[in-house]
Each structure stands twice: as structure tokens, then as C-alpha cells.
């Protein structure tokens, strides 16, 4: 039996992926750009053995049936690569035990599938010794589109590509996580009970019905990708932040132009957007950028020096019964810096509402997937989950 354990991080797009040109191969209609996060990751152990009776899978402590078409698709790609590589036929016949968990709540709508599929692919590649030999991002992509961006740390571009077979639809690293170490992220997890459209269903409906999505993909995104790549290279936060906010807004505009519309932002999301614009205006420069995926949670990109003050801003605008509980601020510890009375007045800072946020996560730009030591395995020597 062979056991390998790896981790792969969450990524948060600043130029959004929305719309597929091929639903089977998960090929997008436009490039996207993301930051890879530290602190938030999936961890996966895979055991392969000729003695296992069959394939089994445990996700976040629950055994799942081994029949997800996307997972089978990923495994099929590996089998093909193994054959091409001339590996012994023996390992191809070995059954797998896959055990995976996220170190953050999956229900919070925080792009858990991207980290999960990136981790599955990275761990399989390590298990099979294929890491350096194949394009991991292309295989992660067939699991979950944006998973391809979690194959690298730092800032990552997913090139849409042109080929029908998708071979050129891969992720490339724009800059490693060491390039702009001051870049940090606050995630505001918003309370929300609405039934939401899945992102797969939503983007499919957008491609079919939005009158604006093509124009966005062809005429807006290319320049934004070029400009934000340059801003990342030059560590130009103002430009980075403005493009990030505009692209988040345009992505949600496309969702609203869909029929029936897909609505992911709620009143709290919009109150956060408004608060950030008021803060930036009062501060006299763009200090914080918001971006929202297919859900109401806000991801704020900002520089380390501004985190203490912005944390105070958020806590004052969104008072919460749990505000002093250690569970309320997760991730990297940070000491708040009170906003001056003068600035608070300029912002017109008032409590927006009570208990509107569930909690806050503080993180930063981080490295890509890692091979973890045996001591961190989720599977025991029999290939079964250690904790169930």
C-alpha cells in the first residue's frame, strides 16, 4: 500500500470566471486572475493498494459514493497519463481510498470545490509520480474550473485558451506569494439563508440568456487581465483594487442580466460595498478592494498596514454579539487600530445592523499545494480514516 497526503489552497478571483465555452471540458469564455490564499486549504490523503476491495471516498468526515462524474473524469485523465508514461500496469489496477477535508467551513460558500479538486489532482499526481510530467492545472480544471488556479501560489492567471480539446486552457503563475507579501485578505462571512443558484447552473444560464456576457468576455476582460497583471507586477495597489472592484461588479451585473436573474449579493453585501467606497473616499485613496464570488460573502483585498484600521471599521459598522469571541476573528491574529473620530465622521460611520456577519477570516496571499509529512495523514496504515 502507498499513502500520500497533500494540501491545496483556496483561491479568490479578482477577474472573474463566468461562463463556459465547453461544459464537458470546463473551458471558460474568458481568462481569469486570482490570488491564492494562505490559511485556508483542503487536505487530502490517498491510499492505493492492490488489497482494497474497491474505491472509497470520505469528504469532511462523511463517506460519499464513488460515482461523481467529475471525480471519475479526473481519475480517467490520470489513467491515460499513466499509460502514456509507460508506468507498470499493476498500479492502474490498484483501488483507491481518498480522504479529504477542508480546514474552513464548507457551507460558508468559500470556493471549497476549487481547493478540493486541486488537492485531489495534486495528491494523485504525487502518488503516481507524475507531478513534473503532466499539466496538473488542466486536469484540476476538469474537476472544477477554478480549481486549476489553486495549483499555484501567489497570483495566478487561468488562460481560457482557444483549442477545442482544451489543452491550452491552463493556469500560469503571474507572481509567487513572496512577490507582494504585504497583500492580505479579510473575508466577511455574511449570514444568509436564501436558496441560491449553483455557480454551474448560474453560469450556464448566463451564457444562454445574457445579452451582455459575450461583450464582457471579448471586450472588457482582456484589457482588465492585462492591466491587473501589470498592477500585480508593479505592486500598484490602487489599480489592482479598482479593477478588482469593477470586475466583481460586472460579474454580478452579468448575473442580473441573466434570465431569470441569478442574484448572489444581498442587502448586507451591498452595505459592505457602500461602506468600502465611503472608507476609500474618506481616506483619500483606494485602501481596500471588495470582491464577491457566487455568494454574499465579501473578500476584501488590502495591504497589511491597513488591516488593523479596516478591521475596526468592519466591527463598528457590523456590531455582533460574538464580536469579542475568539471564534469571531479566524486566521492570522491582528490587533485592531481604532478609526479616528475625524475619519469616522467623514465616513459617516454608523452601525448598519446587528449580527449581520457570521465571522471574519484574516488571511494573506499564500503558497501553492504542498506534500505533507506522513504524520499529517488522514488515513491510518489500513487505509481507513483516522477520525470519523
Can you give the binding site for a second copy, defined by CB under 8 A? 211-212, 215-216, 219-220, 242, 245-246, 249-250, 252-254, 256-261, 263, 266-267, 270, 273-274, 277
The rounded radius of gyration (Å) of the Cα atoms in the chain is 21
Nearer CB in complex with a second copy: 97/252:
252
Residue 276 CB, nearest distance to a second copy (Å)? 9
Shortest Cβ distance from residue 242 to a second copy (Å)? 8
Q: Nearer to a second copy by C-beta: 5 or 197?
A: 197
- Strand, coil or helix: what is 101? strand
The alpha carbon of 115 is separated from its chain's Cα centroid by a whole number of angstroms, namely 7
Cis peptide before 129 (omega within 30 of 0): no
Q: How far is the CB of 244 from a second copy (least distance, A)?
A: 11
Cell numbers standing for residue 188: 466577511
Q: Which cell is 196 given?
A: 441560491
Alpha carbons 295 and 139: distance in angstroms, whole number: 26
Nearer to a second copy, 113 or 269 (CB): 269
Q: Which three cell numbers stand for residue 376?
A: 499529517
Q: Residue 254 CB, nearest distance to a second copy (Å)?
A: 7
Query: Which grid cell sits at 225?
Result: 487581465
Q: How far is the CB of 287 from a second copy (least distance, A)?
A: 15
Return the SS3 of 143: helix
Cell numbers standing for residue 285: 485613496
Closer by beta carbon to a second copy, 249 or else 370 = 249
CB nearer to a second copy: pick between 173 and 248: 248
User: Which CB, 156 or 265, lies closer to a second copy?
Assistant: 265
335 burial (CB, 10 Å; 0-12 / 13-18 / 19+) is: exposed
Residue 388, helix vs strand vs coil: coil
Q: Which is nearer to a second copy, 56 or 252 (CB)?
A: 252
Nearest CA among 1, 7, 3, 2 for reference residue 371:
7
Which among 137, 98, 145 is positioned nearest to 368, based on CA atoms? Answer: 137
Minimum distance between the CB of residue 265 and a second copy, rounded to whole angstroms? 8
In angstroms, give the least distance from the CB of 291 to a second copy.
13
Place of cell 503558497: 367
Cell 456590531 -> residue: 319
Amino acid at each position: 500500500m502507498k499513502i500520500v497526503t497533500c494540501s491545496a489552497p483556496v483561491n479568490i478571483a479578482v477577474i472573474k470566471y463566468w461562463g463556459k465555452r465547453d461544459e464537458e471540458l470546463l473551458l471558460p469564455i474568458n481568462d481569469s486572475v486570482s490570488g491564492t490564499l494562505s490559511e485556508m486549504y483542503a487536505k487530502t490523503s490517498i491510499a492505493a493498494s492492490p488489497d482494497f476491495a474497491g474505491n472509497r471516498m470520505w469528504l469532511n468526515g462523511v463517506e460519499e459514493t464513488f460515482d461523481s462524474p467529475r471525480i471519475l473524469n479526473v481519475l480517467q485523465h490520470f489513467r491515460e497519463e499513466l499509460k502514456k508514461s509507460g508506468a507498470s500496469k499493476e498500479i492502474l489496477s490498484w483501488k483507491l481510498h481518498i480522504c479529504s477535508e477542508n480546514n474552513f467551513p464548507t457551507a460558508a460558500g468559500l470556493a471549497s470545490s476549487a481547493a478540493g479538486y486541486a488537492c485531489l489532482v495534486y495528491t494523485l499526481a504525487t502518488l503516481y509520480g507524475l507531478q513534473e510530467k503532466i499539466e496538473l492545472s488542466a486536469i484540476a480544471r476538469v474537476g472544477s474550473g477554478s480549481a486549476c488556479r489553486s495549483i499555484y501560489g501567489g497570483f495566478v492567471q487561468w488562460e481560457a485558451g482557444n483549442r477545442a480539446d482544451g489543452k491550452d486552457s491552463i493556469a500560469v503563475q503571474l507572481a509567487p506569494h513572496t512577490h507582494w507579501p504585504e497583500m492580505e485578505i479579510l473575508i466577511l462571512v455574511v449570514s444568509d439563508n436564501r436558496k441560491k443558484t449553483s455557480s454551474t447552473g448560474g453560469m450556464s444560464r448566463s451564457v444562454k440568456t445574457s445579452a451582455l456576457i459575450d461583450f464582457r468576455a471579448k471586450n472588457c476582460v482582456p484589457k482588465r487581465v492585462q492591466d491587473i497583471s501589470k498592477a500585480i507586477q508593479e505592486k500598484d495597489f490602487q489599480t489592482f483594487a479598482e479593477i478588482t472592484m469593477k470586475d466583481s461588479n460586472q460579474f454580478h451585473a452579468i448575473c442580473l442580466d441573466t434570465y431569470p436573474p441569478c442574484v448572489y449579493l444581498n442587502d448586507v453585501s451591498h452595505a459592505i460595498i457602500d461602506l468600502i467606497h465611503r472608507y476609500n473616499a474618506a481616506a483619500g485613496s483606494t485602501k481596500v478592494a471588495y470582491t464577491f464570488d457566487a455568494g454574499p460573502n465579501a473578500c476584501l483585498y488590502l495591504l497589511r498596514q491597513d488591516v488593523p484600521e479596516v478591521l475596526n471599521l468592519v466591527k463598528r459598522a457590523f456590531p455582533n454579539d460574538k464580536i469579542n469571541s475568539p471564534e469571531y476573528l479566524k486566521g492570522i491574529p491582528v490587533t485592531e487600530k481604532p478609526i479616528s473620530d475625524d475619519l469616522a465622521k467623514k465616513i459617516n460611520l454608523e452601525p448598519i445592523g446587528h449580527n449581520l456577519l457570521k465571522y471574519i477570516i484574516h488571511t494573506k496571499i499564500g503558497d501553492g499545494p504542498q506534500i505533507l509529512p506522513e504524520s499529517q495523514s488522514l488515513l491510518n496504515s489500513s487505509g481507513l480514516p483516522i477520525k470519523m
